Amino acid sequence: MGQAAIGETGTLARLTRFVMPVLLVGGLLTVALPDVAGAAGTSLLTEPFTNATTSTSAWSFPTGSTGVCLTAGTNTSATPVPDCQSSGGDAAGSGALQLTTNGGNQVGTIYSTSALPTSNGLDVSWDSYQFNGTGADGISFDLAAANPSDPVPPTTTGPAGGSLGYAANGATPGVPNGYLGFGADVYGNYENYAFSGTGCAGSTPAVPESMGVRGPGNGTAGYCLLGQLNLATGLTLDSKAPTSRTGLAVPEEVVLNTTASSVFASASGVAVPVGDYLFATEPLKNGAAGTVWKYVTGALPTDPSGVPSAWLGSDGLPLEMAFGWASSTGGSNEYHQINLLQVSALVESPILSLTNTDSGSGTLAAGSASSVTLTAGVSATSTVNEPDAGSELYEPQAEAWRVAVSLKFFGPVVVSAKVSPGVAKPGSTTHRSNEGLPLAAAATPANAGASTPRNTAAALSSNTGVNPRVR
């Protein structure tokens, strides 16, 4: 196991979480990412998971994942994330993203389809809930290296049970291009040597109610244990008896400090040295809300085996990372849920804007055609502009952004959607700031009725991924 530091700190006031709609619907709309209260950087994503729908459509389920759903709402066919039940459920604004029920041998995984650029560091926080079962297995927050020119999330999940959907288990592979897996491990097997891939030294003994960090892996190789913290008696990541998550929130936080200075984590307040990761939780104390953060820190792995060199920066770190959560059960079980996600950069970055102009005013009738123009740029509210490799600042007009677009239509009309000049969607292209990206959509004449286009898009700086997206 690699060198890691463990510790604790007193509880801090939680940050205010912003809810920001990120779905672009016909007409003219400009979206900008707000700053995070109390944080030094820029918000990249806010997703509460508390309503019947997600705030962004940028979520996907890899092969092998089952049962992920939202506990508020009654539409079991909703996309991208269905609701858990057709009646009842949590009230709007009070729900969570459910990864597994208290059934056995499940693995529920969800990834964002928007990878995160890493050069400005990352600070990710959320609340987790593990309850109503026999105490297994746990929840992992997972990062995987992504191709900067086509940053898609992993297409398969890791195994159930002690792997927590991240690490390999014997001949069963782990997450493709896995970089780091942070496990809130109730049962204790995540730290067990049996859940490492090949090439790992022996792990320390598995202990229930523990925090584990596993490193890079591909297929059945790697995923070695980097850090572990066994919680003291009375501190738990779950509560087995309650049938409701009320009062059982366990705040969690992951920080990757790729900046040039030590930083303080926004939620836990823990100092994170240059080049280190942080995994922090605020566990329950005797079944009630906790008051002390527990944490593990260690050096960020460099040059992960199996990851193409073109995906890595000069520091050996992935330029972009896919992220998501996985949860698993085995012979024992619990409900596993999360909500109140906040993702931020560690340093202030330009706030991007994306303007969507739809000639169809939000509706595409049968037999008709519509055009959509997306224009990415720097928001007028941004206090900083886009830096180049040196110290000078480009003007927005000189900037180029990669714009990845998904043009989806909801309704009876069969739609053919392409990005000019003719790249089938979803896809991406590169345009300069303030230069529109045209899309074209044509409805099949045989279909009756009309469809509503919901045009989601992401803008990313062409300057080696140093900027946040706007979605």
Q: Are strands 225-230 and 364-365 parallel, antiparallel or unpaired?
A: unpaired
Tens digit of pLDDT at every position of the chain (471 positions): 546 766 666 433 322 222 222 222 222 222 332 222 233 577 888 999 999 999 988 899 999 999 999 999 899 999 999 999 998 899 999 999 999 999 999 999 999 998 888 888 999 999 999 999 999 999 999 999 999 888 889 999 999 999 999 999 999 999 999 999 999 999 999 999 888 899 998 767 778 999 999 999 999 999 999 999 999 999 999 999 999 999 999 999 999 999 999 999 999 999 999 999 999 999 999 999 999 999 999 999 999 999 999 999 999 999 999 999 999 999 999 999 999 999 998 987 666 565 666 565 555 555 555 555 555 556 667 666 554 322 222 233 333 344 444 444 444 433 433 333 333 333 333 333 334 444 444 443 333 344 444 434 443 333 333 333 333
Q: Is residue 307 part of a domain?
A: yes
Please give the pLDDT value at position 42.
78
Whether the CA torsion 45, 48, 51, 53 is positive or negative: it is positive
pLDDT at site 432 = 36
> How long is the chain?
471
Global pTM?
A: 0.76
Last residue of a domain, one of 316, 344, 372: 344
Q: Give the residue numbers spanning the domain of 242.
A: 43-344
Which class for 310: exposed (0-12), middle (13-18), buried (19 or more C-beta within 10 A)? exposed
Number of C-beta neighbours around residue 273 at 10 A: 14
Same domain, 265 and 379: no
What is the number of domains present in the chain?
Answer: 2
Residue 124 has what pLDDT?
Answer: 97
On whether both 324 and 242 belong to a single domain, the answer is yes
Residue that is last in its domain, among 306, 321, 344: 344
Residue 194 counted as domain residue: yes
Q: Which two tokens stand for residue 364?
A: 């595409």
